[in-house]
């Protein structure tokens, strides 16, 4: 009989109907997903849709105002935030960046820098790094303490297309080598890491979710983006039929405006708890949206 400890199989984090409210406004609401060991979950959504808020709620930086968040006891999290408050006028080397918030042994620093491919930059000034090198330094800092869960808030920001592919390759290697779970936030609404197990699209709530279609098998995609890109990136294709207005209200496809976008706003057709089949075409995602995982033809036709 296999002797598997329950903590090896239990989800690292589970959000159940989680919501965060500030100044009388729900920043996100009704968020549901789990992350298991070795799994990559990607959050996508427009600016201000609650991705960072959701990630911070998942790791306990923010407390949910409704719903539940459960984390495995003793969960170690490596977090790469979207923004760092660093005084860029002060000299700061990569190895000092690694130990700003806690000490690490020489071996831990060297191993982390080596595994992110920047061992040669240990004594380089952070302000002189390229976008891709800086993201690797942040990744090295996050993995040095061997986290169970790695949370990466827009890890490819400021990085060009080939750098993006290289970084996603690196994230995949880290996952494969360490078996950690990864929560990835992407600013790109349509192109995600091909290895992503579940994409969760937020817009103040979960709009739709599913697996990214693995377009890497499509010869047309390979022709468009090249073999290397095809192994690394996949298209998550979907559309929303409502817009979140700057004041927090929601304008629906029929022109009506509601205070929020939730099951009781009269624009929903599903019953609570209904599962969305992300693999089927045109599923009703439960929020008056349609998600469609139809792959590269949208990209090609310019509708992405
Ligand atoms: N502490 C706070 N108090 C009030 N509003 C906040 C707070 N933190 C975030 N917000 C607002 O909540 C909304 C969601 O913010 P969040 O940073 O989670 O979005 P995001 O999807 O990560 O955005 P982006 O893609 O621009 O990084 C935004 O409208 C933001 O202004």
Query: What does the pLDDT look like over 184-222, one tens digit per residue?
Result: 998 887 778 888 898 888 888 888 888 876 444 556 556
State residue 4's pLDDT score: 57
ipTM over 0.90: yes
Atom 8, ligand 1: which residue's CA is nearest? 53
> Which domains are present in the chain?
20-76+148-160+179-300 (3.40.50)
Task: With a cut of 50, list the residues of the chain below it in pLDDT.
Answer: 214-216, 267-304
State residue 86's pLDDT score: 72
State residue 188's pLDDT score: 80
> Residue 156 in contact with residue 180, Cβ under 8 Å?
no
State residue 156's pLDDT score: 86
State residue 273's pLDDT score: 33
Report how far ligand 1's centroid is from the alpha carbon of 102 (Å).
28
Alpha-carbon span 193 to 165, nearest angstrom = 9
State residue 287's pLDDT score: 37
Atom 17, ligand 1: which residue's CA is nearest? 52
List the structure tokens of 268.
């929903």
Atom 12, ligand 1: which residue's CA is nearest? 27
Report the atom number in ligand 1 closest to the C-alpha of 27: 12
Atom 10, ligand 1: which residue's CA is nearest? 27
State residue 2's pLDDT score: 55
């Amino acid at each position: 009989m296999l002797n598997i400890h329950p903590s090896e199989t239990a989800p690292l984090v589970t959000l159940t109907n989680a919501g965060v409210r500030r100044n009388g406004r729900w920043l996100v609401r009704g968020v549901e997903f789990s992350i298991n060991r070795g799994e990559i979950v990607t959050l996508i959504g427009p600016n201000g849709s609650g991705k960072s808020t959701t990630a911070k709620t998942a790791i306990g930086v923010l407390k949910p105002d409704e719903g539940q968040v459960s984390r495995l006891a003793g969960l170690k999290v490596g977090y790469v935030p979207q923004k760092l408050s660093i005084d860029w006028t002060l000299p700061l080397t990569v190895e000092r960046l690694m130990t700003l918030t806690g000490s690490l042994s020489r071996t831990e620093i060297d191993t982390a820098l080596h595994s992110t491919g920047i061992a040669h930059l240990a004594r380089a000034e952070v302000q002189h790094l390229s976008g891709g090198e800086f993201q690797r330094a942040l990744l090295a800092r996050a993995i040095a303490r061997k986290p169970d869960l790695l949370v990466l808030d827009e890890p490819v920001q400021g990085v060009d297309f080939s750098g993006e592919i290289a970084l996603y390759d690196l994230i995949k290697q880290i996952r494969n080598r360490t078996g950690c779970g990864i929560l990835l936030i992407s600013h790109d609404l349509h192109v995600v890491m091909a290895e992503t197990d579940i994409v969760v699209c937020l817009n103040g709530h979960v709009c739709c979710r599913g697996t990214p279609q693995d377009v890497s098998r499509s010869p047309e995609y390979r022709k468009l983006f090249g073999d290397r890109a095809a192994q690394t990136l996949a298209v998550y294709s979907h559309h929303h039929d409502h817009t979140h207005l700057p004041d927090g209200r929601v304008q629906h496809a029929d022109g009506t405006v509601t205070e929020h976008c939730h099951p009781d706003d009269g624009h929903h057709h599903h019953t609570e708890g209904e599962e969305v089949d992300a693999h089927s075409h045109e599923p009703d995602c439960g929020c008056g949206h349609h998600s469609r995982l139809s792959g590269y033809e949208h990209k090609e036709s310019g509708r992405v």
